[in-house]
Amino acid sequence: MSHTCGTFFFMETKRPDNFVDNPGILPYGSNLSAPSFRPTDLTSFKKTGVSKAEKIFDKRYKELVEQAETLQKSFLITQEVYESNYKFEPVIGEIYHLYEDSDGKKLLSLIDPSQWNKKHLYSVILNSDMTWTKIN
């Protein structure tokens, strides 16, 4: 390859393939007598990493499934109580009892199960966030 600059003509000298201008800054050997390098075998690192990550994800997945099931149960209880019959405004923090009538209708009452001869389903308490929690 040649370059012209004005009236001067410069010729680039061809260097051998194994020549490097600044060998000290390279992260690897640049001549034939330099120690060889091989890529690190990452097989065991990857297997261990995948195994640990799978355990973490599996544990978290199970926790999320459990939380979703708890949330669904809470939703169904809250829905069932709100859809039941009652003629009073429940007070937050008070215990109420859900009964099933002879015709299958559900009713919410303040009357304790020991004092009433109806089919007692469960007792609930009204939370400050207006959800119901089953207490027995």
Q: At residue 119, what are phi and psi to the nearest 5 degrees?
A: -75, 110
Share of the chain above pLDDT 90, in %: 67
State the pTM of this model.
0.63
Express each pLDDT in 15-27 by its tens digit.
655 566 777 777 7
pLDDT grade for 9, boundaries at 50, 70 and 90 = low
Q: How many residues would you count in the chain?
A: 136
> Which are the contacts of 136, defined by CB distance < 8 A and separation ≥ 6?
122, 123
Distance (Å, whole) CA 84 – CA 118: 15
Helix (H) or strand (E) holding 51: helix 43-83
Express each pLDDT in 88-125 by its tens digit.
999 999 999 999 999 999 999 999 999 999 999 999 99
Express each pLDDT in 33-51 by its tens digit.
777 777 888 999 999 999 9
- What one-character DSSP code corresponds to residue 107? E
